Amino acid sequence: MSTAPDAADIRRRTRELLAAHPPATTGPTDFLRARFDAGLAWVHYPAGLGGLDAPRSLQAVADAELAAAHAPDNDPRRIGIGLGMAAPTILDHGTDEQKRRFLRPLWVGEEVWCQLFSEPGAGSDLAALGTRAVRDGDDWVVDGQKVWTSSAHLARWAILIARTDPDVPKHRGISYFICDMSDPGVEVRPLRQITGEAEFNEVFLTGVRIPDSRRLGPVGDGWKVARTTLMNERVSIGGARVPREGGMIGPVARTWRERPELRTHDLHQRLLTLWVEAEVARLTGERLRQQLVAGQPGPEGSGMKLAFARLNQEISGLEVELLGEEGLLYGDWTMRRPEGVDFTGRDAGYRYLRSKGNSIEGGTSEVLLNIVAERVLGLPAEPRDDKDVAWKDLAR
């Protein structure tokens, strides 16, 4: 058995890739395909699937070499759902054929992915979802409605969970599929949100046919598979170092320095309290990052989203007030479809409105507090009466 590659191996392989496919004379897609085939896409993935079975930390070695050579990247912001959620799920639960078919175009960015999980009637209680998948020969026929789907209008594929057995308790009757977004039964409608724009979509599924070969994991085991996806959704925190005043406090502090005429005593006290809290949140993120680097991941990550949601909301709320008459204006209500979301982008009014979503998306703050209380502190769960009831008999 060969040993896992070390930093020197990764560096050598990266230089060989750059020599064989000089970024200056290679098309971006060709270069990214070659990088995938060289195992330098995500080095911790298996050999043959874009990786080298190397420690995850060694990715930084390849990335540094590639950045120095001005190699094209795969625009992770555009394909975040594929990279962060679909790929780890396919890797953990997919068949060899599914891995070979889907991972390469996913990583290269040739095929965009979206996630068909949330429904109008299943938000925090995702396992109560009602989209039905009924077996018909070698296919499944899917009917239902999904919501809060970013990138659905750009996506080639979707990860989808649907109910395959309504007669058993909700967690047991779900299966996990890869859905073809070009199927004629898929209808995508923009979902306009309080900022005026539409980052998200509603997706209506009517008689969508999915071959059984695009099922991920066993029939009825979809909740377990979905947990892989959802765990990966919250792993992304703790990446890069953030500079002081690097978050939403930055623009407020700059306005305070530049425009003395806006200052009041009440705003000053609130600004200083929030400045301290933002700095402490930055340090908490830095400490979490150092723990990850040292190989001692702590449970702190579950708390960071809670902290940033509240801070973003309070800071942006303060900013609107600080701006006085200007705070009464809003940049632009035009219905647009942004490619990605920028929490600190645009004007104060936009930041104030968009940050309201921070305590809802990716797990509401109320659910996250339950998770911290039960999984980190070990407090007992609330008594539940939904776990042993067939899905079809639940109140809705």
**Enzyme catalytic residues:** 233
> If binding means CB under 8 A, how many residues of this protein chain bind another protein?
53
Q: Are 274 and 315 in contact (CB under 8 A)?
A: yes
Q: Which residues pair with 177 in a beta bridge?
A: 160, 215
Choose the binding region for another protein from 3-11, 110-118, 300-308, 349-357 (rule: CB under 8 A): 300-308
CB atoms within 10 A of CB 52: 23
Binding track over 327-366 against another protein, x by CB under 8 A: ---------------------------------------x
Binding to another protein by residue 230, rule CB under 8 A?
A: no
**Residue 154, both tokens:** 């750009």
Q: Which residues pair with 189 in a beta bridge?
A: 202
Q: Are 276 and 298 in contact (CB under 8 A)?
A: no
Q: Comparing C-alpha atoms, which of 191, 122, 181 is closest to residue 154?
A: 181
**Residue 201, both tokens:** 């979509």
Binding to another protein by residue 396, rule CB under 8 A?
A: no
The three-state DSSP-derived secondary structure of 189-222 is: EEECCCCCCCCEEEEEEEEEEEEHHHEECCCCEH
C-beta of 213 vs 290, nearer to another protein: 290
The DSSP secondary structure of 242-300, one letter per residue, reads --TT-STHHHHHHHHHH-GGG--HHHHHHHHHHHHHHHHHHHHHHHHHHHHHTT---TT
Choose the binding region for another protein from 23-31, 95-103, 169-177, 281-289 (rule: CB under 8 A): 281-289
The amino acid sitting at 166 is P
C-beta of 262 vs 341, nearer to another protein: 262
Binding to another protein by residue 383, rule CB under 8 A?
A: yes
Binding to another protein by residue 307, rule CB under 8 A?
A: yes
C-beta of 277 vs 386, nearer to another protein: 277
Q: Are 171 and 223 in contact (CB under 8 A)?
A: yes
C-beta of 15 vs 287, nearer to another protein: 287
C-beta of 95 vs 255, nearer to another protein: 255
Binding track over 168-187 against another protein, x by CB under 8 A: --------------------
**Integer Cα distance of 35 and 32 in angstroms:** 5
Site for another protein, rule CB under 8 A: 241, 243-246, 253-254, 256-260, 263-265, 268-269, 271-273, 275-277, 279-281, 283-284, 286-287, 290-291, 294, 296, 300, 303, 306-307, 366, 368-370, 372-374, 376-383
